[in-house]
Amino acid sequence: MAVLAESGSNPDVGLLYDINGLAKDAPHWFDRIMEFVGEYGLLLAMVLLVLWCWWSVRRRGGEDAASSVAALVWAPLAAGVAVLVNIPIRGFVARPRPFVEHQGLDVLVSGKTDFSFVSDHATLTMALGVGLFVANRRFGIAGICLALLEGFCRVYMGVHYPTDVVGGFALGTAVALLLSPAAMALLTPLMRAVERSPRAGRLVRRRPVAEDGTDGTLLPSARTCLENEERDLAA
């Protein structure tokens, strides 16, 4: 792979120079923004998007609330699993960072000494985006768009080849989709159990508000009295 990367006819290297060349032509302040966005900003945006989707699903409620929240729980879990899967892949491929083998790159982030293939950032964001898509298509499309922007930023910053990013997208998508049926089979019953809980159920759906301003739930003692009254009336 190192021999291929050194080849002048390699489109991967050519695209790397084309995208990273934009950093050389951009103002210094814009490069600093791209550095923050590509390293931290988009990851934070993905987390906020997942929370926003959870809040929307919780407020909407409905019979599918438990399965939707289960899919949202799976999204960050899928991202974590994908990064763990990437550890042996990076060690096996052992592809150096592009700035190690190619001169003239404008590297916006220093201190990157690990291997390049595949990109952890691209893997994380795409796994989150695809996981979001399983839960809610509207939020999922927004998440996938953020993941694509993350991939562009990593090449723009000079720390990854385009194929590192594509590999991260493929890995994140594969983990999120292929393991989704098993994850949903485990998480959906768990979320339904949480939904039935008087207190923790608010994590799954918003409780309806009664006329007295409460959330409409009954204390165990009140529920027992009501059941006894209904039994007496039936008798």
Question: Which domains does the chain carry?
Answer: 2-196 (1.10.606.20)
Mean pLDDT of 6-11: 63
pLDDT given for residue 231 in this prediction: 56
Please report, to the nearest 10 degrees, the dihedral formed by the alpha carbons of residues 76, 79, 84, 87 taken in order: -150
Least confident of 4-13, 55-64, 97-106, 117-126: 4-13
Please calculate the CA angle 180-39-102 and round it to the nearest 5 degrees: 105
The per-residue pLDDT for range 41-72, each reduced to its tens digit, is 999 999 999 999 888 887 876 677 788 888 89
CB distance 153 to 38 below 8 Å:
yes
Give percent of the chain with pLDDT exceeding 90: 50
The per-residue pLDDT for range 180-210, each reduced to its tens digit, is 999 999 998 888 888 777 777 777 776 554 4
Instruction: Give 169's Cβ-side CA count (13 Å radius).
Output: 17
CB distance 147 to 133 below 8 Å:
no
**How far are the Cα atoms of 22, 32, 171, 211, 220 from residue 16, in angstroms, in the given order?**
10, 19, 21, 62, 64
CB distance 20 to 114 below 8 Å:
no
